[in-house]
Structure 1
Amino acid sequence: MRRRGIAPTFARMTLPTMFVPHGGGPCFFMDPMGGPPDPMWRPMQAYLAGLIASLPERPRAILMVSGHWEAPAVTVHVGARPRLLFDYYGFPEHTYRLRWDAPGAPVIARRAAALLQAAGHVVAEEDARGWDHGVFIPMMVADPDAAIPLVQMSLRADLDPAAHIAIGRALAPLRDERVLIVGSGMSFHNLRARGAQVTPVAAEWDEALAAAVTDADPARRAARVADWELLPHARFAHPEAEHLLPLMVALGAGGDGAATRDYRDVVMGWAVSAFRFG
């Protein structure tokens, strides 16, 4: 029985942060009849489908950083009902009619902007750009009912690793506000290198990256990941860095908590991993 005059207390849950693979184009939705994807993509689809259930509690909103949006300054989307931006090419016609109608979260977007500005970052807002496929393709799997409001945030166009880790650190308070921070990219992303002949090199890169990302010492972890170009086969794995930079944001927001590899598979000859922080 509750004693009069004493308010009940509830444990506050701190959500982890995540770096997830978003696949290739509309890879999970290639069947116009809605059937399962190519067997190659099914383990990744299963991982994404279990993402929300794996959390300690359901988030009230998601803040997602995609490897498909760069801007001069870090930019938050403040729109209430973003459209979809079909920024992939050469896929079946029906994949340009996909729907994912989750609401935006302007209040969360402006809260994120305020945290970044307080930490000294230059921040912009916009409300016209659609959610790119780095957002809506994985989210159609993770939240098929489109029930969780989502904010997209851009990368900074200079793709500076340490700056993106610092951006993540500034956003960390959102974790205590039931906002899930997700980096959406690919841990290997070289579109000119595919097939089984790539796998040994991709696997060596992937193991080196995982060792850096899961370093038990948070300061050393951040330093090793910021220096990702020193890892073996780094520029083969990422001729351009935009698909790796969302990892930096997730790592920074994860703070001093544990870092684990959540998923690993081989697709298109690429060894691909996902990571969880906190």
Structure 2
Amino acid sequence: MNYSAFISHGGGPLPLLGHEGHKEMVEILEEFASLIPKPDAIVVISAHWDTTEIKVNTQAQPHLLYDYYGFPEPAYNIKYPVSGAPQLAKELLSGLQGLGVPVIEETERGLDHGVFVPLAIMSPEADIPCVQISLQCDYSPELHLQIGEHIAKTIASLDNVLLLGSGFSFHNMAAFRLADNKEAIKNNLEFESWLEQVLNTPLSKQERVQHLINWQSAPGARYCHPTEEHLMPLHVAYGAAQSTPIAFKQVSVLHKKATFALWTMA
């Protein structure tokens, strides 16, 4: 059985620095990890890597990319010596062809904090090989649903692989600084309610897909996502599963509600 998940990776390195505003998020990631067998490999789509093409990191020993600034020194000394999975990466390179966008190999970029922060919580031993795939920078919902579907087909002959869509269901950076702002709270709650209805209530596959394609028409959508990059990992994760989740949580991260979902793959 393969699994797919959409999770929030929180604010930069803060979940790994013991930040109080991430306590509930950390607990949910630990819970999700306990709900499934220890994966043999993890494929990650992070909000913090988007490219004109679709890129697949094929490195055997990727380094970490500290793609944040303004944090204390320990944030730049985080270690997570996870290995890559070059053979799986090559299979994904092949399996992602035919989407109408070039798919190319990445041999130099490190794993960003959308990868190593949640993995360090879910798999602190760093002993599960990991492959990162980029978002495509046009942020087409249809394309990212198809990316998930192609990933699922590519790994269908394998067993015990986790696809992790690492983003955030609320990502208005200015609003994060407004803990008690009524507009932020209203839009946040309305969009999270919409997500729960779309993902976690009985709908046909076609209905869910249409809702996700037309996500901008959801209440609070553009307030919660002035740009799309933190939502598109959800589309990839759902595209691989196309079903209701086996676990669904909405928790507070940095005083805002955030959605977490876990699926078995179709």
Does the alignment reach a TM-score above 0.5? yes
Distance 1:119 1:162, change over 3 A: closer
- The alignment status of 1:196 with 2:177, answered yes or no, reads no
Percent identity, aligned pairs only, is 34
Structure-to-structure mapping, 1:239-250, within 5 angstroms:
239-250=226-237
Partner residue, 2:10:
23
My pick for the range that moved more, 89-98 or 110-119, is: 110-119
Letter in 2 for 1:186: F
Tell whether the 8 Å contact from 1:19 to 1:274 is kept in structure 2 after alignment: yes
Distance 1:219 1:160, change over 3 A: same
- The alignment status of 1:45 with 2:32, answered yes or no, reads no
Tell whether the 8 Å contact from 2:99 to 2:143 is kept in structure 1 after alignment: no
Shift of 1:113: 1.4
- The alignment status of 1:165 with 2:151, answered yes or no, reads no
Partner SS, residue 2 of structure 2: coil
Partner residue, 2:260:
274
- The alignment status of 1:210 with 2:210, answered yes or no, reads no
Shift of 1:42: 1.0
- The alignment status of 1:185 with 2:167, answered yes or no, reads yes
Instruction: Give the aligned length.
Output: 257
Runs of 4+ in 1 over 3 A off after TM superposition: 118-121
Shift of 1:92: 0.3
My pick for the range that moved more, 245-254 or 115-124, is: 115-124
Partner residue, 1:265:
251
In 1, Cα distance between equivalents of 2:61 and 2:238: 28
Shift of 1:179: 1.7
> Quick one: higher RCO (CA 8 Å, sep 6+), 1 or 2?
2
Distance 1:260 1:149, change over 3 A: same
Partner residue, 1:65:
45
Partner residue, 1:78:
58
In 1, Cα distance between equivalents of 2:104 and 2:237: 20
Shift of 1:277: 2.5
- Please report the RMSD computed on the Cα atoms of aligned residues, expressed in angstroms: 1.5
Structure 1 gaps, min length 5: 1-13, 31-36
Shift of 1:119: 5.7
Letter in 1 for 2:172: N
1:94 pairs with one of 74, 87, 105: 74
The Cα offsets for residues 174-201 of structure 1, whole Å up to 9 and x where unpaired, read as 1551221110000000010131222232
Tell whether the 8 Å contact from 1:213 to 1:225 is kept in structure 2 after alignment: no
In 1, Cα distance between equivalents of 2:220 and 2:157: 37
In 2, Cα distance between equivalents of 1:258 and 1:245: 18
Partner residue, 2:221:
234
My pick for the range that moved more, 188-197 or 46-55, is: 46-55
Tell whether the 8 Å contact from 2:24 to 2:253 is kept in structure 1 after alignment: no
Tell whether the 8 Å contact from 2:22 to 2:254 is kept in structure 1 after alignment: no
In 2, Cα distance between equivalents of 1:100 and 1:26: 12
Tell whether the 8 Å contact from 1:210 to 1:261 is kept in structure 2 after alignment: no
Distance 1:83 1:89, change over 3 A: same
Shift of 1:202: 0.6
Name the TM-score, length of structure 1 as normaliser. 0.88
Tell whether the 8 Å contact from 1:167 to 1:252 is kept in structure 2 after alignment: yes
Structure 2 gaps, min length 5: none
Name the TM-score, length of structure 2 as normaliser. 0.92
Letter in 1 for 2:213: A
